[in-house]
Amino acid sequence: MRALCGLVAVMMIGGASGGGWAQLVPRTDSGTPVVPQKPVIHRTRLILKDGSYQVVMSYAVVGKNVQYVSAERGGETEMIPLDLVDLPATKKWEAQHSTVDPDAPRAAPAIDPELLKEEAERALLAPEVATDLRLAPEDAVLALDTFRTLPELVPMTQTDGELNKQTGHSILKSAVNPQASAHQIVWLKGEKSAVQFHVDQPEFYIKLDDALPSGGEAMTVDTHGAGAEPSRKQTGTNDYVILRVDVRQDARVLASFSMTALQNGKRQEDVFETTLTELPGGHWLKVVPQEKLLVGEYALVEILDEKTINVGIWDFGIHPTAPENRDVLKPEPKRPARLDRRPPPSPQ
């Protein structure tokens, strides 16, 4: 028996009513059913060659027929011979009256360049210093610590030993005589600071009052050996050093230090130099000790010029087993954007 070529279709024609086209099941010559194309899902017109049309919800070419879901007959699935359908006219009408396919991927809407600029500026005001952990613009000084493997930002309070502690960044000048012997410059009540870090090289972030030129260059008050010229990359900010305090009974004492030795790179006991880096945007200054700090009590001191320091200091301790600090800022993973349906406006 000769094999049948082309498509073999079984057509079931309606009974006595003669009611139009019924279901067609097209098959290949091997008997495999033809898999129809993915239908175009939207309300459109299926235009026929005689000039009439059917309003359909979807249609697809299946072999030599067109299968469609009628919008006029309650969503019934029907078929019509492809020879009766004017596909070019149908596609032209679709192109002129196209609607969005709900299953089709949508391009992201364009964002106003001004909004992008504002978002970038907000990011510079609150830069990320650890994964999902950002600086808070409302704080003047923050320190990056790690408690039980979790990075945290600790707000730092400033004190001069006499005034109440404050969270701002104030300046109370005091001259340091480079020729005088060591003497007390700040006296702090208590044998231990309220802030205790669990790492030996905490990072301090100081908010700058005025925006400085960005670039993130490091300024290092470095040691170059006795008699060598100090090298500094000026950023328009003051220098900072970390002093180890003398713990006494119910008190901590900060002793003076030699400005000349600091400028000439001479090592001083209990004086730890720092590396300063201005963060992009010029809103924050990063201060990091150049060497690891041992367990003990310390203070971050601001040098205003070669003869003057700010006696408003930030005291802290290094104790890996200390409890967690209070009021810390913890990482906040970004939440996916969600559009909520707004309720209709209430009638006036």
pLDDT at 17 (0 to 100): 37
* 177 and 49 co-located in one domain: no
Kindly report which listed range (2-16, 176-190, 207-221, 289-303) carries the lowest average pLDDT score.
Answer: 2-16
Domain coverage including residue 178: 128-318
Produce one character per residue of 224-242: b if its CB has 16 or more CB atoms within 10 Å, e if not: eeeeeeeeeeebebbbbbb
Amino acid, single-letter form, for residue 104: A
**157 with 86, same domain?**
no
Model confidence at 238: pLDDT above 80: no
Q: Is the CB of residue 141 less than 8 Å from the CB of residue 165? A: no
Give the residue with greater pLDDT, 20 vs 71. 71
**Could you tell me if 137 and 256 lie in one domain?**
yes
Beta bridge mates, 302? 240, 310
Question: Highest mean pLDDT range out of 86-100, 219-233, 333-347?
Answer: 86-100
At 60, phi and psi to the nearest 5? -155, 140
Same domain, 140 and 217: yes
**What's the Cα-to-Cα distance from 333 to each of 132, 250, 299, rounded to whole Å?**
5, 42, 32
Q: What's the CA gap between 233 and 248, in Å, rounded?
A: 38
In a domain, 108, yes or no: no
Say if residue 98's pLDDT is above 80.
Answer: no
How many angstroms separate the CA atoms of 332 and 233, rounded? 35
Classify residue 26: in a domain, yes or no. Answer: yes
Considering the domain architecture, whether residues 259 and 185 belong to the same structural domain is answered as yes
Q: How many CB atoms lie within 10 A of CB 172?
A: 13
Does residue 121 fall inside a structural domain?
no
Q: Name, in order, each residue with C-beta under 8 angstroms of 303's C-beta and a sequence gap of 6 or more.
A: 238, 239, 240, 241, 259, 262, 309, 310
In this prediction, residue 340 carries a pLDDT of: 57
Q: What are phi and psi of 262, to 5 degrees?
A: -65, -45
